C-alpha cells in the first residue's frame, strides 16, 4: 500500500516556521534549547551572531524536489558577537527553538561582519 499526505499538512509545518521566526542565529554548537540558542557563549549559550527575520522575509512555500519547502533568506552584514567556530544555524522565535541545521564550519571573529547564506527547509513527501 502506497503512502500519501496532503500538501496542506506539510505547508502547515512550514508556515509555522515562517509565522514564528524572529531571529536566525549562527551557533558554535548545536543548541539544545531556546536558552542556548539565544545566549552568547559568554552568557552560557552557543550564539555567535544573530540577525532579525520576519515572516515578510520569506518568499513563501513552494514545491521542492520531493515535497514542500521554504527558502530561508540570506542574512548579510551580521555583526559577530563572539570569536568562535560556527557549526550550526538556528531559527528561533521570541520563546522557542524552531529549527537547527549544520553549516560549513568556519572561524569568525568578534566585531567582524558575516553573511549567513540562503538555505532551504524541505519536508519530504511520504514514501
Domain boundaries, the chain: 7-122
Q: How many CB atoms lie within 10 A of CB 31?
A: 21
Strand-pair partners of 26: 49, 89
Alpha helix locations (H) across the chain?
A: 7-20, 34-38
75 Cα distance to chain centroid: 11
Cα separation, 25 vs 78, in Å, equals 10
Residue 80 has what pLDDT?
Answer: 98
Cα separation, 52 vs 80, in Å, equals 14
Q: What is the pLDDT along the chain (127 residues), one digit of tens a residue?
A: 688 899 999 999 999 999 999 999 999 999 999 999 999 999 999 999 999 999 999 999 999 999 999 999 999 999 999 999 999 999 999 999 999 999 999 999 999 999 999 999 999 998 8
Q: Which residue has the cell 522557542?
A: 96
Cα separation, 87 vs 52, in Å, equals 19
**How crowded is the C-beta side of 61, counted as CA atoms within 13 Å?**
17
pTM score of the predicted model: 0.94
Name which of 30, 33, 23 is nearest 116 in CA terms: 23
Amino acid at each position: 500500500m502506497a503512502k500519501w499526505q496532503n500538501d496542506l499538512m506539510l505547508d502547515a509545518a512550514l508556515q509555522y516556521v515562517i509565522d514564528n521566526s524572529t531571529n536566525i542565529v549562527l551557533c558554535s554548537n548545536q543548541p539544545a534549547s531556546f536558552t542556548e540558542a539565544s545566549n552568547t557563549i559568554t552568557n552560557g549559550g552557543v550564539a555567535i551572531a544573530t540577525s532579525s527575520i520576519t515572516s515578510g522575509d520569506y518568499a513563501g512555500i513552494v514545491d521542492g524536489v520531493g515535497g514542500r519547502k521554504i527558502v530561508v533568506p540570506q542574512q548579510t552584514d551580521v555583526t559577530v558577537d563572539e570569536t568562535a567556530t560556527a557549526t550550526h544555524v538556528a531559527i528561533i522565535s521570541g520563546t522557542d527553538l524552531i529549527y537547527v541545521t549544520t553549516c560549513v564550519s568556519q572561524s569568525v571573529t568578534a566585531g567582524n561582519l558575516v553573511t549567513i547564506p540562503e538555505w532551504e527547509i524541505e519536508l519530504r513527501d511520504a514514501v
